[in-house]
Amino acid sequence: MDFNLSAKTTEYAAKLQAFMEAEVFPAESVYEHQRAQLAAAGKPHGLPAVVEELKVKARALGLWNLFLPHSHDPHHGLSVVEYATLAEITGWSPDLAPEATNCAAPDTGNMEVFARYGTPEHQEQWLKPLLRGEIRSAFLMTEPAVASSDATNIQCSIVREGNEYVINGTKWWSSGAGDPRCSVYIVMGKTDPHAPKHSQQSMVVVPANTPGVKVVRPLSVFGYDDAPHGHMEVTLTNVRVPVGNLLLGEGRGFEIAQGRLGPGRIHHCMRSIGAAERALALMCQRLNSRVAFGKPLSAQGVWHERIADARIMIEQARLLTLKAAYMMDTVGNKEARAEIAMIKVIAPNMASQVIDWAIQAHGAAGVSDDFPLAYAYTTQRWLRLADGPDEVHRQSIAKLELARHIASAPQDIDMPITRGS
């Protein structure tokens, strides 16, 4: 396996690191201040102006849409391994850096869907403005009434009536739907509940302003509202869209779900590694600057053990994630499905532990918003749900392992469908 970066990606990484230090990190406090002002004005999901300012600067540097692997567009065309390196850097500031570079979920996955499966009309109406960063989008899959970790449980109905599809259902954890720029949803539902289990579901494009669409409420994550994009409960009541809004064809929702999330399968994991690196750096700085019981905290043995373990865990997670990315580049997502499942488990669990140690090193300050650690911890904890539950990924890993020793065909083992990326 070769993880060496091309000259182009080395240049991107250097520019991105410089952009983080010169623009993104200083903008974090501005972002929080502007969010507080908007909330006080009764606009909790209003867009802080600094976000668009960062986007203009990033695009001027060519740090834009880096997530599209194997693209014929000369501004993209990075391999998954190369993109992984850049995704880790953006993980140091996950609220700002991904969107500043137009590499934020769920837009990335939705842009892939439009690029792979959309009609020329879809691409003109939705893909191009998404690629320009002019609008945002949401992916509506998860439902409150069923265990959505098994996507075959989805109850939202998509029924054809003449030249239209009529959609009825309730979705929640619809990330991005709270953003005032969110203009389009990709909705997963059932077109034929009597078809074979994995041929019942379809995906359909629904403009956010379609009659019958109602954003009911934002959902908080450990008390954070994650504004402006938010995680929303959305009802669809007799929502009508043209037949042409169906993606790829009836019963092909699982096919689309498995085909999307190319780089999205690894960028959350690499951002988790970036978050862990920042937590470790903050922990070391704190330990070097504080004295307790007559000596620096950094001189106390328990912290040596934790620092060493953190470094080992980060390196292990990075190597496994890069291996998964390499396999995606060389043998494809299907052959890499065990490694993809492994990194979905290891990356957020690793980051949660490293961030937990960093919080401990900061004492009470660690659980405040004076440092980015508390929010980072909640992000890693919910990633263990948003990117598919640990249990589902472990089940996939175990089935693939067992299939080596029994007559079951590994190709029959599907990867879980996730709502993020």
What CATH number did the domain enclosing 221 receive? 2.40.110.10
Last residue of a domain, one of 88, 104, 120: 104
Phi-psi region of 70 (alpha: psi -120 to 50; beta: other; left: phi over 0): left
In a domain, 340, yes or no: yes
Encode pLDDT of 224-266 as tens digits: 999 899 999 999 999 999 999 999 999 999 999 877 766 777 8
In a domain, 128, yes or no: no
By residue count, the chain amounts to: 421
Q: What is the pLDDT of residues 336-361, one digit of tens each?
A: 999 999 999 999 999 999 999 999 99
Residue 39 structural domain: 7-104
Asked whether residue 124 is domain-assigned, the answer is no
Prediction pTM value: 0.93
Mean pLDDT of the chain: 92
The reply to whether 113 falls in a domain is: no
Whether residues 270 and 391 fall in one domain: yes
Q: Are residues 286 and 203 in the same domain?
A: no
| 83 has pLDDT over 70 | yes
The rounded distance, in Å, linking the Cα atoms of 397 and 403 is 10
Q: Residue 290's domain is classified under what CATH number?
A: 1.20.140.10
Q: How far is CA 35 from CA 43, 72, 224, in A?
A: 9, 38, 12
Residues 41, 89, single domain; the answer is yes
Give mean pLDDT, residues 51-73.
84
227 and 275 co-located in one domain: no
The pLDDT of residue 407 is 64
Q: Are residues 334 and 305 in the same domain?
A: yes
Mean pLDDT of 126-145: 96
Question: How many Cα atoms are found within 13 Å in the side-chain-facing hemisphere of 252?
Answer: 12
Q: How many CA atoms lie within 13 A of 292 on its CB side?
A: 12
Is residue 274 located within the same domain as residue 298? yes
Q: Given pLDDT bands bounded at 50, 70 and 90, which one contains residue 413?
A: low
Handedness of CA 356, 357, 358, 360 (dihedral sign): positive
Total domains present in the chain: 3
β 182-190/136-140 pair status: parallel
| pLDDT (average), residues 304-310 | 98
C-alpha dist (Å) from residue 11 to 25, 62, 274:
20, 11, 19
**Contact status, residue 185 vs residue 177, Cβ threshold 8 Å:** yes
Q: How far is CA 196 from the centre of its chain?
A: 30
Report the distance separating Cα 178 and Cα 196, nearest Å: 34
Instruction: Please tell me the distance from the alpha carbon of residue 74 to that of residue 79, in angstroms, as a whole number.
Output: 13
Mean pLDDT for 171-200 is 96
> Residue 174, SS3?
strand
Q: Which pLDDT value is given to residue 263?
A: 74
Residue-wise DSSP of 65-84: -TT-BT-SSTT--B-HHHHH
Residue 257 lies in a domain: no
At 307, list the tokens: 């620092």
Q: What CATH number does residue 16 fall under?
A: 1.10.540.10
Question: What CA–CA distances, in Å, run from 125 to 118, 128, 142, 322, 334?
Answer: 10, 7, 25, 35, 31
Last residue of a domain, one of 250, 280, 296: 250
Q: Is the pLDDT of residue 42 over 90?
A: yes
Could you give the CA distance from residue 354 to residue 321 in angstroms, rounded to a whole number?
17
Report how far Cα 179 is from the mean position of its chain's Cα atoms: 16
Crossing angle for the helix pair 80-90 and 301-330, nearest 10 degrees? 150
d(CA 75, CA 397) in angstroms, rounded, equals 36
In terms of domains, do 267 and 242 share one? Answer: no
**Which distant-in-sequence residues (6+ apart) come within 8 Å of 2 by Cβ?**
326
Buried b or exposed e, range 39-69, using 16+ CB within 10 angstroms: eeeeebbbbbebbeebbebbbeeebbbbbbb
Q: Is the pLDDT of residue 53 over 60?
A: yes
